[in-house]
Amino acid sequence: MAVETSSQTEDETAGILSPTSMVRLAAVLFFACGLVTLLSPLAPTPPGFQRFGVAAVGIAAVVSAPVVWFLPWARWPRWTSQLLAIPALALIGLHNYFGGEDPYRYPVFYMVTWVWLGLAHRRWTSLRWVPALAISYVVPLYLHHAPAWAMVSLVYVVPVLVLVAEMMGWAAARIAKVQAAVSSAEQRLSALVSNVSDIIGVLDGGQRVTYVNPAITRVLGYEPDHLLGSLFGVVVHDADHYYVSDHFAEAVASPGEPVKVEFRARRNDGTVVLLGGALTSRVDDPAVGGVIVTLTDVTGQREYEAHLRHEALHDNLTGLANRTLLMDRLVQATRRAERTGGRPAVLFFDLDRFKGLNDSMGHAVGDRVLTAVAERIRPLLRSSDTLCRYGGDEFAVLCEDVTDEAEAMAIGERIVEAMARPFKVGDLSLQMSTSVGVAVSGTPVVDHEVLLGNADAAMYVAKERGRGRCELFDERVDVWATQQPAGNLSRP
């Protein structure tokens, strides 16, 4: 830690300019000051002004500029650049000697030199060069036999020059330190943004990409540079363009408020993924000047959620709707029927003597039979009908709207006929039958639980009358069902 602190202190006191920058600045100052000196004879001159001498000093300064620029400073220690103060002070002294009696511009070029010393070198370097300054300042005055008060002006000039040099150095060092801190913070932020897994971008008011982090390559396969200046719509699925535009407008209308979005996006290879995230308008923030987009690939998450929903509402063995989904759709169907006057129907059936098959041949054979039943019944139903495995070998069909009892009975008869055909399970040929109970809602609409119970009761009547048949729930079935002990209906 001590070494680090020492290094930081040295950097802070070494001047804010790099070795190359400080010598090139010196070269520019030599050239500029020499050019000013060459042009000075064109202005009114004071008594004692020697044009040829001043011109010679100007030429010498201008010629010195390329020499200073191209010298191999990189091979030499940093402090050697201080030696440029020697020719600078010499030229200034000569300029003052040939410049005549002009007290107004006498210390001007000293100011330029001391500002350079303050910007380019360690703290208090300007103070070390005060003796050389005194010689360069006083000698021309002495040769001109200047009065004592002119020479004593050095007492005022030196503190001002040192103060200006050190203040410039201090202020520039503070600015450099702040710039370094800002640059470091930007680099850290850039590193963080570049390595996050989410897409982070900025869109202007026209939905053009002004910034996007490298995550766009991993998620969508696009190079960030290729998207800059492009419309964000190039990555949006055609069917979702209006959706994204509407949410973009909503975000712009509510600055600072995140607007959630979820849309389909096209990868560079043409495949489609689902992106979810937020749009946050920072158009009025000069540091951003646009709408911040944060997106993540939610394809896997949504597929998993859909899988969970499917698992919760479907039978694992047959893939049919389960009891939960059937009851939900039955409730919705009866509510719609109340509004529209439709007639929902329920068909309830199970496999005759399935328990004996399960016990004698094993559950594996029984499971294959149940799967085969589902595959055989599906084609017999309408696309709007719901086929459900209610539990065990029990199945139910919800027909959301039928014309009359005859249409529902026709579906039941088709199920009975289909189930009468032998089932092939491996090398086995199994003869099965089913008993179907049919219940159709009338007016007023029957409660969903009552409708399902009526179909169940009709199925029992079908079993009582010999199995392998379809029975419609009517008044006689209702009387029969009410005569049975509660919870004591057998399923032979």
Of 229, 226, 203, 224, which is closest to residue 213 (Cα–Cα)?
A: 224
> Would the pLDDT of 10 be above 80?
no
- Fold classified for 196-298: Beta-Lactamase (3.30.450)
- Confidence band for 477, pLDDT divided at 50, 70 and 90: low
Per-residue pLDDT reduced to its tens digit, 181-238: 888 877 777 777 666 778 888 999 899 999 888 888 888 999 988 899 999 989 999 9
User: Domain 314-482 - what CATH class?
Assistant: alpha beta
For residues 360 and 383, give the distance between their C-alpha atoms in angstroms, rounded to a whole number. 36
Of 43, 59, 129, which is closest to residue 94 (Cα–Cα)?
A: 59
- Confidence band for 88, pLDDT divided at 50, 70 and 90: very high
| Fold match flag (196-298 vs 314-482) | no
Beta-carbon contacts of residue 233 (< 8 Å; ≥ 6 apart): 207, 241, 244, 245
Provide the whole-model pTM. 0.55
Task: Find out whether 89 and 82 touch, Cβ atoms under 8 Å.
Answer: no
Per-residue pLDDT reduced to its tens digit, 440-450: 988 777 888 88
Length of the chain: 492
| Domain locations in the chain as residue ranges | 2-186, 196-298, 314-482
Three-state SS at 295: strand
